[in-house]
């Protein structure tokens, strides 16, 4: 599994299987090389399917068990069950405008897409429930991470103190330069304490800012009662590591996509 990223805290738990893909170990060519998981980016369909076959086999799943999101940088979270199996990959999907998914049913591979945005993995070991959310800057301003946790609380009686959270590879504060407009959105959404930890003046003379989306999510979860020791944050930046990841900021639209996959066994 050395071409797939996994969290140390989650990878040895028998009840779950998960990964965040890299560019390595697939069959796609050129800008898509090699493990492109995006169907809508211009890559050959059969290459993408082969990439999914390889990843799901490694995880002990089949592609028929996957359920693909339909991400729009908003904050809707949907409960997924057996009736959604294969949607978005093996058959038409009724899932629309969904950036967060959760389930307490085994054998369902929640699947979300990335090329710099932050993947958020949630595992409730007490109620045997999982969730996966896509949090770019818009989703982070809307606090989709918090809304996912609240949705798990409502549906599965999840308590923040029990949850294990993985914050995956994403564009880091080293590379994520944003304009004043974006900074203002964060100022409105987060208190000064958190702003001091996530927004920094840019090193160049652009009068722009460097934004730490992973830290924004981490602070949000800690404030909601998740134990710091239960939050694992990947230090990997998708923009810095050209060899490992597709990055929208670095590559623009001619690129592949990573996916996060998360399932209860």
Residues at the site binding Zn ion, with contacts judged by CB under 5 A: 172, 174-175, 237, 239-240
- List, as one string, the DSSP characters of 26-74: ----GGGTTT---SSSS--HHHHHHHHHHHHHHHT--GGGEEE-B--SS
The smaller minimum CB distance to Zn ion, of residues 33 and 240, is found at 240
Residue 6: CB minimum distance to Zn ion, A: 21
The smaller minimum CB distance to Zn ion, of residues 192 and 243, is found at 243
The smaller minimum CB distance to Zn ion, of residues 182 and 237, is found at 237
3-state SS record for 7-23: CHHHHCCCCEEEEEECC
> In whole angstroms, how large is the CA radius of gyration of the chain?
17
Residue 235: CB minimum distance to Zn ion, A: 10
- Of the chain, the end-to-end C-alpha distance in Å amounts to 17
Residue 203: CB minimum distance to Zn ion, A: 13
Q: Which two tokens stand for residue 93?
A: 């999907």
Q: Would you put residue 148 in left (φ > 0), alpha (ψ -120 to 50) or beta?
A: alpha
Nearest to 141, CA basis, from 209, 190, 76, 194: 190
The smaller minimum CB distance to Zn ion, of residues 104 and 135, is found at 135
Residue 173: CB minimum distance to Zn ion, A: 8
Residue 72: CB minimum distance to Zn ion, A: 25
The smaller minimum CB distance to Zn ion, of residues 20 and 123, is found at 20
């Amino acid at each position: 599994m050395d071409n797939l990223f996994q969290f140390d805290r989650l990878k040895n738990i028998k009840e779950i299987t998960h990964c965040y893909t890299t560019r390595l170990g697939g069959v796609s060519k050129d800008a898509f090389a090699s493990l492109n998981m995006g169907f809508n980016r211009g890559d050959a369909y059969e290459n993408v399917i082969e990439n999914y076959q390889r990843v799901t086999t490694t995880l002990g799943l089949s592609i028929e068990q996957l359920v693909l999101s339909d991400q729009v940088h908003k904050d809707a979270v949907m409960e997924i069950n057996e009736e959604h199996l294969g949607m978005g990959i093996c058959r038409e999907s009724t899932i629309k405008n969904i950036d967060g998914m959760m389930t307490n049913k085994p054998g369902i591979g929640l699947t979300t897409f990335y090329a710099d945005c932050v993947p958020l993995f949630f595992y409730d070991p007490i109620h045997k429930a999982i969730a996966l959310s896509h949090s770019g800057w818009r989703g982070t301003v809307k606090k989709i991470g918090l809304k996912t946790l609240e949705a798990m609380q409502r549906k599965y009686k999840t308590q923040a103190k029990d949850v294990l959270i993985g914050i995956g590879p994403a564009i880091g504060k080293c590379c994520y330069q944003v304009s004043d407009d974006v900074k203002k959105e964060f100022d409105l959404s987060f208190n000064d304490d958190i702003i001091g930890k996530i927004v920094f003046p840019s090193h160049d003379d652009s009068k722009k800012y460097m934004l730490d989306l992973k830290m924004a999510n981490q602070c949000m979860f800690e404030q909601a009662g998740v134990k710091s020791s239960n939050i694992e944050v990947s230090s990997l930046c998708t923009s810095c590591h050209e060899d490992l990841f597709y990055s929208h900021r670095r590559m623009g639209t001619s690129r592949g996509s990573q996916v996060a996959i998360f399932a209860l066994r």
